[in-house]
Structure 1
Amino acid sequence: MPDLLTWQWLLLLFCAFMAGVAKTGVPGLGILVVPLMLQVVIDPKTSPGALLPLLCLADCFAVVAYRRSARWAEILRLSPWVALGVGVGAGALVLVSDRWLTPVIGIIVLTMIALHVWRRWRGTGEVRARPLLAGVLGVVAGFATTVANAAGPVFNLYLLSMALPKTEFMGTGAWFFFIINLAKVPIFLLQGRITGATLLLDLVAVPAVIVGALCGRWLFARVPQRVFEIAVLVLATASTVVLLMPRREG
């Protein structure tokens, strides 16, 4: 069993709980867990690997909860581009430290937020699905999730621009991240990001994920559509702070 201090064990459980809440109730909250996990798993290489299995477990709860609400057309439109982005991200990590790649994602997300707010201000907030938009965002999402487990803000902004009802928003996101996170597992194993030690940590945190997922579902049912949209935008903005934070070298 990994040798952690008491506060680190508590922080691990908190991160797992928040991951569960994010997947079933408050999309975008998960990105805020990334820097906290770095305090539990000090190694910046294995920290994302410790988080990924917890996200996969939370994804299962989200898929069950919103299995009939997905917009499969959006998922299929993005899938080949996301796969390309995952490949680019995996290759980039071999050549460049994520310390330098992650801030680039933050800048991209910040730009997307600015464009979204500008469209809303101009009264053209909803956009039709366009192949070019799907291609660009798909590649960025795939790249972001591989480099920093940070596809959430990118994908959430894409869905937000589509003005989906909140249940379809959650259903589409649930299936999208369920697929993409499972696809990342073999990559993380080959890169040594998921280890026996990180899996032991995950095993301890499983109950917290379950409780978080149930709480998130309860919360989601009580949040109005407008509040939901504002929360997604605010959390996406907060994610840029996380992504632009200085990181330790692995």
Structure 2
Amino acid sequence: MDTMTLWGVGGWGFAALALAALLVGFSKTAVSGANTVSLAIFAAVLPARASTGILLPVLIAGDVLAVLTYRRHAHWPTLWRLFPAVGAGVAVGTVFLLWADDAVMRTAIGAILLFMAGVTLWRRRRARKGEEETGDAGSGRAKARSYGVLGGFTTMVANAGGPVMSMYLLSAGFRKLGFLGTSAFFFLIVNVAKLPFSAGLGLIDGRSLFLDAALAVFVVPGALLGRWAVRWIDQVLFERLVIAATVLGGLQLLLR
């Protein structure tokens, strides 16, 4: 990776990245999955392939703050059930990154964003109809495996596992605090595990970490804002805004 391109970001570009970092903190402590907007911004401002490596340490900073906030509410049986399938998805995503160039990465990220928006809209429609998933333990394990593999792949390729895991946790009946606590530990563990893969692919190095250090400063106020807002935020309106921004971000990447 030519890390010199990371310092070709102008004032407006850095402001956009700072806003994306703030949204990362907010999403980690308030609305999990909202950072799909952040990855669209990163991929638009930076080279698409490089953006995945630059965003990862910023996400980990948000994960640490989320764990500190909701550490008492994690459901570990759910986490242990997901991790093997997630590991398989991360491995598949790593193989994909070995041959994908910047153009392919940009298309993949855009397509993933649009897919995640479609999944979220489908989930919301089912929720309005009052539909519930039923099935035996075997179907529950199969669901965990399928969500885990897709979540591992999307989080490795585009740091976009949030909507996948959000849909899984919501379908499993998690309430707000349990959802946030389980999600916080899940992404901290998975994102830290991704570090050697990203470094081995050349997506993270010393120069990129300097940019991460500058952006991590903006994660903290975002996390504090999310911690305050989670009790008062209009979830329906915010999800609509996130979906709209995700669709626009995905289209922008595909049409660019």
- Please state which band the TM-score falls in when normalised by the shorter chain: 0.7 to 0.9
Residue 232 of structure 1: CA displacement? Answer: 4.9
> Quick one: structure 1 residues 119 and 211, their matched pair in 2 at CA, closer, same or farther if it must change by over 3 Å?
closer
Deviations 1:61-90 (A, max 9, x none): 000100010111211111100000000111
Deviations 1:200-232 (A, max 9, x none): 111112221111111111111324xxx447745
2:229 is equivalent to residue 209 of structure 1: no
**Residue in structure 2 matched with residue 193 of structure 1 by the alignment:** 203
In the alignment, structure 1 segments of 5+ residues that lack a partner are none
2:114 is equivalent to residue 89 of structure 1: no
- Secondary structure of 1:29's counterpart equals coil
CA distance in 1, matches of 2:219, 2:113: 26
2:166 is equivalent to residue 171 of structure 1: no
- Number of aligned pairs? 245
1:24 is aligned, of 26, 29, 32, to: 29
**Residue in structure 1 matched with residue 108 of structure 2 by the alignment:** 101
Query: 1:102 is aligned with what amino acid?
Result: I
Query: 2:132 is aligned with what amino acid?
Result: G
* Aligned ranges 1:1-250 → 2 under 5 Å: 2-40=7-45, 42-96=46-100, 97-102=104-109, 105-106=112-113, 108-109=115-116, 112-113=119-120, 115-117=122-124, 119-125=126-132, 130-223=140-233, 227-228=234-235, 231-232=238-239, 235=242, 239=246, 241-243=248-250, 245-247=252-254
Q: TM-score if structure 1 supplies the norm length?
A: 0.86
Residue 118 of structure 1: CA displacement? Answer: 5.1
Query: 2:63 is aligned with what amino acid?
Result: D
CA distance in 2, matches of 1:229, 1:175: 25
Query: 1:19 is aligned with what amino acid?
Result: V
> Quick one: structure 1 residues 38 and 21, their matched pair in 2 at CA, closer, same or farther if it must change by over 3 Å?
same
Query: 2:65 is aligned with what amino acid?
Result: F
Q: TM-score if structure 2 supplies the norm length?
A: 0.84
CA distance in 2, matches of 1:131, 1:233: 31
CA distance in 2, matches of 1:237, 1:127: 30
> Quick one: structure 1 residues 69 and 232, their matched pair in 2 at CA, closer, same or farther if it must change by over 3 Å?
farther
CA distance in 1, matches of 2:255, 2:57: 22
Deviations 1:28-48 (A, max 9, x none): 2111011212344x2211111
Residue 103 of structure 1: CA displacement? Answer: 5.1
Deviations 1:7-52 (A, max 9, x none): 1222222121111111111222111011212344x22111111111
Query: 2:190 is aligned with what amino acid?
Result: I
CA distance in 1, matches of 2:180, 2:236: 12
CA distance in 1, matches of 2:39, 2:236: 22
Q: Which moved more, 1:11-20 or 1:233-242?
A: 233-242
CA distance in 1, matches of 2:241, 2:160: 15
- Secondary structure of 1:27's counterpart equals coil
Contact 1:102/1:244 (CA < 8 Å) preserved in 2? no
Runs of 4+ displaced beyond 4 Å: 126-129, 229-234
- Percent identical across equivalent pairs? 34
